[in-house]
Structures are given as structure tokens and as C-alpha cells.
Amino acid sequence: MKVILLGAPGAGKGTQAVRLAERYKIPHISTGDIFRSNIKEKTPIGIVAKSYIDKGQLVPDEVTIQIVRERLEKDDCKNGYLLDGFPRTVSQAEALDEFSTVDVVVNIDVPLHKLMRRITGRRVCGKCGESYHIDYLGGKTACEKCDGELIQRADDNEETVGKRLEVYEKQTAPLIEHYEKKGKLFNVDGDGDINAVFNAITERLG
């Protein structure tokens, strides 16, 4: 099963992707995670990516497409994959159409005015990547799954998030129509609790 998770920053793509990957035993491929690990290792890709991510802008298509193309060629993607955060531009979607055929595109829909709080309150596990929110953490500072330290992403500050939401509207939202035209779009209400969203998605995916 080849699935794309579409949605604005903070819509819950990562949260759902972790759970879906476990349920369907397919790899969770997050371009954001790939960039962050490159930044940590100070690779050439990481150095380029950081300059864009810090400003809330998208990393250039050529760089991003190449990374995903190579990743999807790996053996573990033969039976399917879950793309989280890719594609984010029409050019990326068109490139993906050339090298892979996705089955379904799940669009997680959350009212824009709720996203700022979701993202600025996000805390992520530095070890396993699980997402949490300060509203539900009750002051806890360690990951429930692996005891890793919870951190705030450098780009999860109000100013950068504002920019990312603008970029989403301009460059990523048009993908909804792109996939609707192909008959691949499945819209899910992302404003319910995490389990309700998960159930709505798995009902569609089987």
C-alpha cells in the first residue's frame, strides 16, 4: 500500500504516520525527519536544508525529489510506504508521478486557526521522534515510549510557523486538487482526537 499523508504543518501527519506504519508494517518516510538527521550530522544536504528550514521556507525541489527518489528505491518500499511531508509542491507531485504510483492520498484537514497552537505546543522525542503536545503532557519531560528527552523543534516558534503556514497555503494546498483530479484523494477530519482520526483513516485503508 502506497500512501501519502497530506496536510498543513501541525495537522497530525507525523502522529498518524507512526501509528499507521506500525499497523500496516510499511516504512514511514518523513522528509522533515530526513532533513533533521542530515542537519544533525552536518552533511552537505543538511547544511543546505537548514538555511531554508530555519526561515520556514521549503527546501528546493531538486534536493528533495532526489532524496525521496533514492529512498523509494530501497527494498523495504517494495510492498508500500507512507510518505509524510512529501510531496509539498506541484513539481514534487509531478516528479513522484513519474517514479512511483501511489494508491491513496489522505488529506488531514484541520482548521487553520488551530494549527499555530498545535505547533508551538509540540514537543518531540529526541530519540524516537514521537510527537507530544504540552496541553496533554501534564509537565512530563520524557518520552512515554522510550524515555528519550522531549525537545522543541527550532522551527516551531511563532514567527517561523507563521511563514510555514503561508507557504502551505501557497505551495502545498494546491496538491489537494492535483490528487482530487486523479481520484486518489481521501479527506479526513483531523480535528477529532488522535484515535478518532486514526480510525477514520484505517476504515478507508482497510
Nearest 10 degrees: Cα torsion 114, 115, 116, 121: 100
Please, which of residues 108-127 interact with Zn ion by CB under 5 A? Answer: 125, 127
Using the rule CB under 6 A, which residue among 4, 21, 45, 58 binds ligand ADP?
Answer: 58
β-pair partners for 188: 108
Comparing C-alpha atoms, which of 49, 24, 48 is closest to residue 155? 49
**Between 2 and 164, whose beta carbon lies closer to ligand ADP?**
164
Instruction: In whole angstroms, give the CA distance from residue 138 to residue 156.
Output: 20
Comparing C-alpha atoms, which of 12, 183, 3 is closest to residue 109? 12
Using the rule CB under 6 A, which residue among 45, 197, 200, 201 binds ligand ADP?
Answer: 197
Query: Does position 154 bind Zn ion by CB under 5 A?
Result: no
Tell the smallest beta-carbon distance from residue 28 to Zn ion (Å): 14
Known catalytic residue: 13?
yes
Strand arrangement, sheet containing 122-125: 131-133, 122-125, 150-151
Contact 101, 93 (CB under 8 A): no
Query: Does position 129 bind ligand ADP by CB under 6 A?
Result: no
Q: What is the helix (H) or strand (E) element at residue 132, kind and residue range? A: strand 131-133
Give the binding range for ligand ADP (CB under 6 A) out of 7-15, 19-27, 97-105, 144-152: 7-15
Query: Does position 11 bind ligand ADP by CB under 6 A?
Result: yes
Residue 128 touches which of ligand ADP, Zn ion, none (Cβ within 5-8 Å per kind): Zn ion
Strands 28-30 and 81-84: parallel
Which residues have a catalytic role annotated?
Answer: 13, 88, 122, 153, 164
Query: Footprint of Zn ion on this chain (CB under 5 A)?
Result: 125, 127-128, 130, 143, 145-146, 148
Query: Footprint of ligand ADP on this chain (CB under 6 A)?
Result: 7, 9-15, 31-32, 35, 52-53, 57-59, 64, 85-88, 92, 118-119, 121-122, 131-133, 164, 193-194, 197
